[in-house]
Amino acid sequence: MLKQRNSEKEIELFIGPQHPASGHMRFIGRVDGDIFTNFIPDPGWVHRGIEKIAENRKWVQIIPLVERAAILDAANMNIGYVMALEKLLDIEPPPRAQYLRTLLCEINRITSHLYGFGIAGIMIGSSTFYMWPFADREPLIDIAQLITGARLTYSYMIPGGVRRDLPQGFREKVLKALKYIERRLNNDYFRIFFDNPVTKARYQGVGVLKRNDAIKLGIVGPNLRASNVKYDVRKVEPYAAYPELEFDVAYREEGDCYARLLVRVEEIRQSIKIIRQILDKLPQGPIIHKKYEKLISLKKLEECQKTGILGLPAIFTALRPPAGEVISRVEAARGELIFHIISTGELRPYRLRMVTPSFRNIVLFRELISGARVMDFPAIYGSIDYFPPESDR
């Protein structure tokens, strides 16, 4: 005889893709009264097959492809892939190109964290703190448009260097935008949201992640640093211009949702400090490796002195890096991003594998929300800063 196992008092909730608080994924939870007894995330609704498509594209054509895995964070995805490709080709970009790459990466880190704040705000109901970070991204996106020519889809870094140089009058605009963001962050954001007793009641003590659990589960990014682990790829394995820049690693000890948000606030402050150092220390020089600079026609090089647009050498349509297997690690806004590329010396890669930080953080849903109250689910979701397209690729 078969006996029914589910008790009558548990409701099974499908918080599906058509829900204001779920993003592009589904959650299956069992609710008993006010507590989730069992909580399973169900990703895969935004899977576009980026790794498989990359096996049919030439090496330079993959640059816009991997950016669109997490379009908020395009510069960090870009730099991860290009660093792996440069390891295969065995070249190093010139110093000015390294500094320009770092500049775009840090601007992108600030905009991505502001987007995360917006989502955290609307999830616990504060519509003001949803509109303000999104409005404050506008000056920075305008700055990024001045450098690269597009608002979000940069495709700025190519193997050997970068595509364009800085335009005139750039430095003053960036300093103005940074002053605006600093003033808003330190004054108004704290007064209306972070110091608000309602916010503190929703976030403090909720979703606590202990240090040993964080290390055992393989969590990355600001979620790890909020649990008292000082691990940042920019300090462990420095790349681009980071060996020459001074900044601190933001970390906190409590491990609850409030700590994760404050780690992101501190990271924005450190990024502002890094951008100011870059503007002071920017060296002069070429923006692409000499091997490729020789292959660009003289007429285009002269135009580059005037307008700043360099262009690509024609060899990129038939780029054949030597056979080998490389790994590159980058600190994206949400955590550590790994690219693993296997090449057999052909026009197209044999295998491209990207391990994104959101995919490694998805286990936090199962660990933190089982046993928590129903109304804690949006608070925890907002504080993890999970981005479904980045996780599904």
Partner 1 sequence: MVTRIISNFYYHIRAIFTGLKYLLSPGIRITLKYPDELLILSENYRGMLKLNSELCISCGLCSQICPAGAISLKLFEHEQTKQVKKYPEVDYKRCIFCGFCVDICPSKALELTRIHDAAFYVKDELYYEVNRLITGPKIDLPCKRSKYVISEVDEVKGIVYRNT
Partner 2 sequence: MEFVNLILSILLHPSIFIPLIFPGFITIFVVIILLIWAERKIAAKIQMRIGPLYVTRRFGGVLQLLADLLRYMFAEVITLKDSDKFIFIASPIIALTATLLPLAVIPAGSLLDIELIAFRTNISLLAALALSSLTPIFIIIMGWASNNKFALIGGLREGHLMISYEVPLYLSALSVAILYGSLDIVDVVNNQQRVWTVLINPFAAFSFFISMIMSTSRFPFEITESDSELVAGPYTEYSSILYGLVMGVPYMRLYVFTLLFVDLFLGGWHPSIDGFSSIALIIKVLIILLFSVFLRSVYPRYRLDQAIRIGWHTLFTLSLISITLSLLIIGWGGIGGY
Query: Measured from the CB atom, is 62 or 369 closer to partner 1?
Result: 62
312 binds, among partner 2, partner 1, none (CB under 5 to 8 A by kind): partner 1
* Closer residue to partner 2 in complex, CB, 26/202: 202
Task: Find the shortest distance in angstroms from Cβ 89 to partner 2.
Answer: 47
Report what 202 binds from partner 2, partner 1, none; CB cut-off 5-8 Å by kind: partner 2
Output the 3-class SS for 150-208.
CCCCCCCEECCEECECCCCCHHHHHHHHHHHHHHHHHHHHHHHHHCCHHHHHHHCCCCC
| Among the listed residues 28, 71, 141, 192, the single contact to partner 2 using CB under 8 A | 192
Whole-angstrom Cα distance, residue 354 to residue 341?
9
Separation between Cα atoms, residue 352 and residue 190, nearest integer Å: 42
CB of 260 to partner 2, least distance (A): 16
Q: How many residues bind partner 2 (CB under 8 A)?
A: 32
Q: Which does 20 bind (CB under 5 to 8 A by kind): partner 1, partner 2, none?
A: partner 2
Q: Which amino acid, residue 195?
A: D
CB of 376 to partner 2, least distance (A): 7
- 41, 116, 121, 222: which one contacts partner 2 (CB under 8 A)? 121
Nearest residue to 73 (alpha-carbon basis) of 177, 130, 152 = 152
Half-sphere exposure of 167 (CA within 13 A, CB side): 12
Closer Cβ to partner 1, 153 or 344, answer by number:
153
Rounded Cα gap, residues 105 and 273, in angstroms = 13
Q: Which residues bind partner 1 (CB under 8 A)?
A: 57-58, 60-65, 128, 135-136, 138-139, 142-143, 145-146, 149-150, 153, 155, 163-164, 167, 173, 176-177, 179-180, 188, 191-192, 195-197, 297, 299-300, 303, 307-314, 316-317
CA 78 to CA 64: how far, in whole Å? 8
State whether the Cα torsion 289-83-170-307 is positive or negative. positive
Quote the CA–CA distance of 257 and 148 in Å, as a whole number: 35
Q: Radius of gyration of the chain from Cα atoms?
A: 22
In the region spanning residues 25 to 64, those forming contacts with partner 2, defined by CB under 8 A, are: 31, 34
Which one, 154 or 381, has the nearer CB to partner 2? 381
Task: Confirm or reject binding of residue 135 to partner 2 (CB under 8 A).
Answer: yes
Amino acid at 106: E
Residue 378 near partner 2 by CB under 8 A: yes
Based on CB atoms, which residue is closest to partner 1, 14 or 180?
180
Binding to partner 2 by residue 123, rule CB under 8 A? yes
Which residues contact residue 242 at a Cβ distance below 8 angstroms, ignoring those fewer than 6 apart?
102, 234, 235
Is residue 122 within the footprint of partner 2 (CB under 8 A)?
Answer: yes
Q: Looking at 78, 112, 126, 155, which residue binds partner 2 (CB under 8 A)? A: 126
Provide the phi-psi class of 207: left if phi over 0, else alpha when psi is between -120 and 50, else beta.
left
- The Cα diameter of the chain in Å comes to 85
- Nearest approach in angstroms of CB 97 to partner 1 is 15
- According to DSSP, the β-strands at 26-32 and 10-15 are antiparallel
Interface residues with partner 2 (CB under 8 A)?
A: 11, 13, 19-21, 31, 34, 121-129, 131-132, 135, 192-193, 196, 198-199, 201-202, 373-378
